[in-house]
Amino acid sequence: MKLRYIAFKWHVDVALDAVSTVLEQVGLHLAKRHIWTRSVGEHTLQVEFRERISLPDRSYFWIRFHHTSAPTDKGELNRVLSEWFFTMSRHFPTYVNWMQVALDIEDFHHLYGFNESTPRIWSKSEKQLRFSLYPFHDHYLYEVKNTDIRNTIQHQRFSKWLDELKHNLLGQERPDDQIRFDLIV
């Protein structure tokens, strides 16, 4: 399983002008109209304003982390994502609603714990989250959303979700599947 990019859809209840100054505090620089970027080692962190779905008092964005010429290393994202969220949250409430990961997967026959609802679309629900995996052009998209898309997800758990997907593709339930204890109270 090779990651092409890791992205999160998020919003704040303020106008774009207020957000752009905070993005600069995190080290992001305006690269194109409504697109800010920052180099993180050999990776790029990119924030894109979603003009079509934004309102005057609510701004929607995608934050995307990727490597331009090699698979993306999710370990590099932990610190940067925490720094970004901490800085944004200090200025205004920040809501992360959706995670999307583009990935290359070798052929697999069964995705443990997921149901194939329609041909080649696998999904599962766990607590209030919905996990989906489906083919898109020449790769797969893996998405995590709250069942009520207006509610936030625990975006800082992205690494755990990707580890679980990797093990599910191998036919295991969880990374620690071999060490499972039942507590009887």
User: Among the residues of the chain, which ranges form H helices?
Assistant: 16-25, 77-91, 158-169
Instruction: Answer yes or no: are the C-beta atoms of 61 and 48 closer than 8 Å.
Output: yes
**What does DSSP assign to residue 28?**
-
Q: Kindly provide the residue ranges of all beta strands, DSSP E only, lying in 15-92, ordered along the sequence.
A: 29-32, 35-40, 43-49, 59-67
CATH node for 2-169: 3.30.1400
The band of 185, judged by pLDDT with boundaries at 50, 70 and 90, is very low
Report d(CA 92, CA 61) in Å as an integer. 14
Q: Where are the domains of the chain?
A: 2-169
Over pLDDT 90: what percentage of the chain?
Answer: 62
**Which tens digit of pLDDT belongs to each residue from 90-149?**
999 999 999 999 999 887 767 888 888 888 899 999 889 999 999 999 999 999 998 887
Nearest alpha carbon to residue 111 among 101, 122, 103: 122
DSSP labels for 92-114? S-EEEEEEEEEEE----S--TT-
Nearest alpha carbon to residue 16 among 64, 45, 62, 56: 56
Whether residue 173 is predicted with pLDDT greater than 80 in this model: the reply is no
Residue with tokens 């959706």: 98
